[in-house]
Homo-oligomer: A and B are copies of this chain.
Amino acid sequence: MAHARARPLEYGESVLLWEIGRDRTFMITLKPGEIFHTHRGQIAHDQIAGKPEGSLIHSSTGAGFWAFRPRLAERMMKVRRRTQIVYPKDAGWLALALDLRPGMRVVEMGTGSGAFTILLAQLVGPQGRVYTFDRRADFLENAMGNVAQAGLADRVVAQVLEAGEPFPVEEEGEIDAVFLDLPEPWRAIPQAHRVLAPGRPLGLIVPTAEQLKRSAQVLEEAGFGALEAVELLERRMLVRVREGVRPSELMVGFTGYLLVARKVLREPEPDESLRNENE
């Protein structure tokens, strides 16, 4: 892995160009002979190929760009979009709430553009597996293109499914985490309960207070406990030597409510209670 880091940027790879001074980014796939046209001049892909990550590239008009391999969050933001995506600020929170780690088996429903699929695939690693489902074949096709471009297709299984249908997974009752990004997530909750291992988390994102409430109700009815709901506000800080430090005026006001819960076993333990233990 460390050795991979030292590899120069190669044809066929995704490259993130960071426009110096403006902090805007562009993602391209390196191809011999191709030209990237920016609003500040042109860059030949051949200028980039063979250079190490972090190299300074000048456009034909002299504007400076850093050439990087895209990070996970940048890939998520740069997917070819057919739908609203899960933003990195929310994705980071969900990654912890879903307790993702290498080797896990996870289920996603509402693949959309595949941004969150890419996060799941990266964090479960090559030994893990991601099952992702969407009712629309065209969304899945686009999303799997995005996943493949990120080099993560080996661990992702995609399939068309309607919300409420059983999840066709090998590890029924042993899935490590479920994520739902659906207009009516409550429809998929009972099936999510079936595939999850006891104690393991289900996360979802919804845009309105009403959906948040209904999801919470159905989660509790379906055998989930330990509910947590949050929303996150991310503020960019402007850090300028001369002008001083302050929050940016530009801000995304809202992206969604996040809800996480864990599969619980409701039948109480047989009452061989503490008193007996102490006898």
Contacts and interface: CB of A to CB of B under 8 A. Distances in A.
Contacts of A12: none
B251 A235 contact: no
Contacts of A56: 264-269
Interface string A111-130: 00000000100110111100
B213 A239 contact: yes
A123 B72 CA distance: 13
Interface stretch (A86-94, A157-165, A184-192): A86-94
Given A174-B5, A236-B228, A72 B96 contact: yes
Contacts of A145: none
A56 B199 CA distance: 11
Given A92-B95, A245-B210, A253-B247, A47 B239 contact: no
A269 B55 contact: yes
Contact of A54 (B2, B42, B262, B273): B262
Contacts of A64: 268
A239 B251 contact: no
Given A1-B104, A47-B269, A253-B247, A53 B230 contact: no
Interface in A1-60: 1-3, 5-6, 18, 20, 23, 35, 41-44, 46-47, 51-60
A73 B53 contact: no
Contact of A73 (B73, B97, B128, B239): B97
Nearest to A45: B277
Contacts of A72: 96, 99, 101
B102 A53 contact: no
Given A102-B126, A208-B246, A236-B253, A57 B269 contact: yes
Contacts of A55: 198, 264-265, 269
A227 B212 CA distance: 24
A263 B211 CA distance: 31
15 contacts: A1-B128, A5-B174, A18-B225, A44-B278, A47-B273, A58-B269, A58-B271, A66-B225, A92-B94, A209-B209, A212-B239, A227-B239, A229-B236, A232-B235, A246-B257
Interface of A: 1-3, 5-6, 18, 20, 23, 35, 41-44, 46-47, 51-60, 64, 66-69, 71-73, 88-89, 91-97, 99, 101-105, 119, 122-123, 125-128, 171, 173-176, 197-201, 207-213, 216-217, 225-239, 241, 243-255, 257, 259, 262-269, 271, 273-275, 277-278
Given A73-B99, A209-B244, 4 more contacts: A1-B104, A6-B173, A91-B92, A212-B245
